[in-house]
Amino acid sequence: MVQKGIKIALAGNPNSGKTTLFNKLTGSHQHIGNWPGVTIEKKEGSIKGRKDLIVQDLPGIYSLSPYTPEEEISRGYLLNENPDVILNIVDSSNLERNLYLTTQLLELGVPVVVALNFIDIARRDGDKIDSKKLESLLGCSVIETSALKGEGVDACVERCILAANGEDPHYERDKIRTSFSAPVENALREIETLIGKTAKERHRWLAVKAFERDEKALAGIPLAPSRKKQIAEIIDRCEKDLDDDSESIITAERYTAIKAITETSIERAKRQDNLSKSDRIDKIVTHRFWAYPIFIVIMAAVYYIAISLGINTQDMVDGWFGDGLIPLVQGWLENAGAAEWLTGLVCDGIIGGVGAVLSFVPQMIILFVLLGIMEDIGYMARIAFILDRLFRRFGLSGKSFIPMLIGTGCSVPGIMASRTIENQRDRRMTIINTPMIPCGAKLPIIALVAGAVFGGAWWVAPLAYFLGFFAVIVSGIILKKTKMFRGDPSPFVMELPSYHIPAVGNVARSTWERSWSFIKRAGTIILLSSIVLWFLLHFAVIDGRLTMIEDEMIADSIAAKVGTVLGFIFAPLGFGGWQGSLATVTGLIAKEEVISTFGVIFRIEDALGLVEEGHYEGVAAIAQHFTKLSAFSFMMFNLFCPPCFAAMGAIKREMNSVKWTWFAIGYLFVFAYILSFIVYQIGVLFTGAAFTVLSGVAVILLTGSLYLLFRKQSEKTTLS
């Protein structure tokens, strides 16, 4: 009889196929949220057709030592939430590394079932794994699986049910799987005796953690000071005998025990140079020199495909809204006798505003599909690996590149992708810097400046992207020298999975989750913001009364008054007129709104569409509002200033702190303002303008920035 509500904890290394297996087990019966108090994603679901079997997908981890937020969460769940069984996903192509976590899980006293994943790849490479022998050595069930192909998935469920009910014939609760050398075992037995008098269970695990001097593991054990002193003396004696620190001793002992297990249970195929197919590919793909041009070519192809195909689909979506939905709704409202303001609000404000954002979704979907394929075949892990050397020079981990890469499509999923970075300090810095990368929504701004102001100059767009990455590097160097972010980047540890054909289901699910997150977040904010913006642009206070105005009177609108008030802020940057100020502020709603706002102000129908299609003569009125220098300053500020509301919401979610959210927004504003201020004020000097107080301030700011950039970093480091 199956007990009600069996809890299955899914644990494994990153890139071991854990997510694929979780999706196979739960299908659509899964729920996504955040762990309480942290930003790491939490997935939970029920087995398909079995609501009484609950699967908790734990963060991908390498060990149960609490060095990262993921490891703290996983260990806390396994120790405090009392799962009925642990389903440990192991990459059979890298068994030695993966069994390091397995040996720790087996010490917890919770029934364990090992899913020997990627078994099809091991067979393909000619490796023979004796799963029965492995079962005997580990003292738990071992199931050969291929989550990608569905092999062994049902067997895992059946064995988990048996293990949870205490009926698994292969699970031996009291067996010590990883027997260490005599000096270490003697020390552990002594510690276990001392702890055993106060701890009710998990004596072996607690003894190992005490030997490693893991204070968090012993936090709930009421040990007397005398016993703590005895334990410390035992550890000191063993460290002296083995001439190493206790944590390193346990690590070495585990790998020695694991090696003994694998040598008797695996028969490796004979290979040329002892390399697998994935290793041979990586000799080229991760080569110190060739890795970079290969990466550039692949990413150029990805973005070329996404943009070229996306333009056609984007025109189609624009047609649905501009030529289909808006005239249809407008005609229906007019026939129904709706007020003029209501017709304008619904058609121009709501449908037009939301449609401007949704028109970019096709490009994003195509981009997410391609990125999903790269991720599923294993190439994305290689990108982070090869760029780690470059990024570490500027204080960032190689994992920081992934959010920035995704951020070129949209800052929202880019910011969300920062959760893969273990170190909280590095994760925060990545979240702050990611919005500086020009996203798809900033393309119209770049196109306007390049086409309408600089006469279609080809170099403006590449320069904008170059400036984006340059800004990230400069910002990273400066932030890393501050007390809040000081310290070496976190060690870059990432398992490189074997290359395999991407699964359609995985790519589709990844694309849907990223796309829906953008549509849901951006659509909600844009809908509300578009309503507010429409009212501000179409109403004015005349003779003390709120009055709807015609387009010709837009200079008297509430929005124009707001822009005039804010003009003094942007005047030192060269665009202090109410038009440029208002467009910049509306860009906080969505960066596409910058061009759309100009279109309304200058009464240009479909200004965004004209810019996207390259018809720059149609937006000449906008171009006449700028000089080349002020237009360049305007572009720079809008590229690097705080992102849209949807991205700000993502920052708040990932920071999980109001204080850090406001710091990120304030930092981006100050960074963009100083950069644009220096460019404009020093730039006007080269046009023959007189040296002014603002010129002097610009020189001081430039000098200060160079000092922060090149000053020597303090040797002191801080822990985050």
Q: Which amino acid is at 666?
A: G
Let me know if residue 169 belongs to a domain.
no
80 in the same domain as 45: yes
Residue 71: band (very low, low, confident or very high) from pLDDT cuts 50, 70, 90: confident
How high does pLDDT run on average in the chain?
79
Does the pLDDT at position 321 exceed 60? no
Helices (H), 46-169: 69-80, 95-106, 119-124, 131-138, 153-164
- pLDDT value at position 539? 83
Element containing residue 530 per DSSP (H, E): helix 504-538
Decide the pairing of beta strands 41-47 and 539-542. unpaired
Let me know if residue 172 belongs to a domain.
no
Looking at mean pLDDT, say which of 12-26, 62-76, 406-420, 481-495 comes out highest. Answer: 12-26
Let me know if residue 247 belongs to a domain.
yes
Compute CA distances 111 → 11, 143, 168, whole Å. 13, 14, 9
Residue 674: band (very low, low, confident or very high) from pLDDT cuts 50, 70, 90: very high
205 in the same domain as 262: yes
331 in the same domain as 261: no
Q: How many CB atoms lie within 10 A of CB 11?
A: 27
Are 235 and 187 in contact by the 8 Å Cβ rule? The answer is yes
Of 36-40, 332-336, 435-439, 515-519, the one with minimum mean pLDDT is 36-40
Residue 213: band (very low, low, confident or very high) from pLDDT cuts 50, 70, 90: confident
Looking at mean pLDDT, say which of 182-186, 200-204, 290-294, 465-469 comes out highest. Answer: 182-186
Two structure tokens written together for 660:
């850090």
473 in the same domain as 411: yes
Are 595 and 444 in contact by the 8 Å Cβ rule? The answer is yes
86 in the same domain as 29: yes
Give CA–CA dist 9/426, Å, rounded: 28
193 in the same domain as 156: no
pLDDT in tens, 229-242: 888 899 899 988 88
Give CA–CA dist 634/567, Å, rounded: 13
Give CA–CA dist 458/473, Å, rounded: 24
Burial class from Cβ neighbours inside 10 Å (0-12, 13-18, 19+) for residue 427 reads: buried
Could you tell me how far CA 199 lies from the centroid of its own chain?
Answer: 40
Give CA–CA dist 104/102, Å, rounded: 5
Let me know if residue 206 belongs to a domain.
yes
Are 399 and 492 in contact by the 8 Å Cβ rule? The answer is yes
Two structure tokens written together for 321:
């809204």
Give CA–CA dist 148/127, Å, rounded: 19
What's the number of domains the chain is made of?
3
- pLDDT value at position 473? 83
Burial class from Cβ neighbours inside 10 Å (0-12, 13-18, 19+) for residue 666 reads: exposed
For 351, residues 6+ apart whose C-beta sits below 8 A from its C-beta are: 321, 325, 326, 329
pLDDT in tens, 153-204: 999 999 999 999 888 888 877 676 677 888 888 988 888 888 876 666 777 8
Could you tell me how far CA 165 lies from the centroid of its own chain?
Answer: 38
Are 191 and 231 in contact by the 8 Å Cβ rule? The answer is yes
What does 413-478 look like in DSSP terms, one character per residue? HHHHGGGG--SHHHHHHHHHHGGGS--GGGHHHHHHIIIIISSS-TTHHHHHHHHHHHHHHHHHHH
Q: Which amino acid is at 44?
A: E
pLDDT in tens, 588-646: 877 877 877 777 677 665 565 566 566 666 667 777 888 899 999 999 999 999 998 87
- pLDDT value at position 673? 96
Let me know if residue 421 belongs to a domain.
yes
Structure-model confidence comparison of residues 378 and 350, the more confident one: 378
Let me know if residue 695 belongs to a domain.
no
Structure-model confidence comparison of residues 119 and 518, the more confident one: 119
Give the residue among 365, 653, 407 at the shortest CA–CA distance from 510. Answer: 365
222 in the same domain as 160: no
78 in the same domain as 33: yes
Boundary of a domain, candidates 249, 270, 291: 270
90 in the same domain as 42: yes
Does the pLDDT at position 559 exceed 50? yes
135 in the same domain as 35: yes
b vs e for 351-371, b when ≥16 Cβ sit within 10 Å of the residue's Cβ? Answer: bbbbbbbbbbbbbbbbbbbbb
Residue 703: band (very low, low, confident or very high) from pLDDT cuts 50, 70, 90: very high
Structure-model confidence comparison of residues 276 and 107, the more confident one: 107
- pLDDT value at position 158? 92
Does the pLDDT at position 426 exceed 50? yes
Boundary of a domain, candidates 248, 270, 292: 270
- pLDDT value at position 603? 63
Q: What angle do CA 283, 304, 649 make, to 5 degrees?
A: 95
Residue 145: band (very low, low, confident or very high) from pLDDT cuts 50, 70, 90: very high
CATH number at residue 25: 3.40.50.300
Sheet of 6-12, strand order = 30-34, 41-47, 50-57, 6-12, 85-91, 112-117, 141-144
227 in the same domain as 86: no
Does the pLDDT at position 88 exceed 90? yes
Element containing residue 55 per DSSP (H, E): strand 50-57
- pLDDT value at position 719? 34
Q: Which amino acid is at 686?
A: F
Supply the range of the domain harboring residue 29. Answer: 6-164
Structure-model confidence comparison of residues 718 and 4, the more confident one: 4
Mean pLDDT over 560-583 rounds to 89
Does the pLDDT at position 397 exceed 70? no
C-alpha count within 13 angstroms, C-beta hemisphere, residue 603: 7
Element containing residue 259 per DSSP (H, E): helix 246-265
Mean pLDDT over 440-458 rounds to 78
Let me know if residue 223 belongs to a domain.
yes
Residue 717: band (very low, low, confident or very high) from pLDDT cuts 50, 70, 90: very low
For 670, residues 6+ apart whose C-beta sits below 8 A from its C-beta are: none
Of 202-216, 310-324, 550-564, the one with minimum mean pLDDT is 310-324
Two structure tokens written together for 449:
């400046």
Compute CA distances 583 → 527, 571, 675, whole Å. 18, 14, 19
Give CA–CA dist 719/421, Å, rounded: 16
pLDDT in tens, 537-546: 778 888 778 7
- pLDDT value at position 654? 85
pLDDT in tens, 120-144: 888 887 788 888 999 888 889 999 9
Could you tell me how far CA 172 lies from the centroid of its own chain?
Answer: 40
Give CA–CA dist 299/713, Å, rounded: 34
Residue 518: band (very low, low, confident or very high) from pLDDT cuts 50, 70, 90: low
Burial class from Cβ neighbours inside 10 Å (0-12, 13-18, 19+) for residue 18 reads: buried
213 in the same domain as 158: no
Boundary of a domain, candidates 227, 255, 270: 270
- pLDDT value at position 697? 95
Does the pLDDT at position 409 exceed 80? no
Are 513 and 335 in contact by the 8 Å Cβ rule? The answer is no
pLDDT in tens, 576-592: 888 889 889 888 877 87
For 281, residues 6+ apart whose C-beta sits below 8 A from its C-beta are: 499
Helices (H), 182-224: 182-196, 203-211
* Percent over 90 (pLDDT), the chain: 15
Are 359 and 314 in contact by the 8 Å Cβ rule? The answer is yes
Give the residue among 29, 23, 24 at the shortest CA–CA distance from 52. Answer: 29
Decide the pairing of beta strands 50-57 and 128-129. unpaired
Give CA–CA dist 6/156, Å, rounded: 14
Are 119 and 146 in contact by the 8 Å Cβ rule? The answer is yes
Give the residue among 631, 613, 615 at the shortest CA–CA distance from 623. Answer: 631
- pLDDT value at position 583? 87
Structure-model confidence comparison of residues 532 and 363, the more confident one: 532
C-alpha count within 13 angstroms, C-beta hemisphere, residue 427: 23
CATH number at residue 212: 1.10.287.1770
Let me know if residue 338 belongs to a domain.
yes
Residue 718: band (very low, low, confident or very high) from pLDDT cuts 50, 70, 90: very low
Q: Write down the pTM of the prediction.
A: 0.64
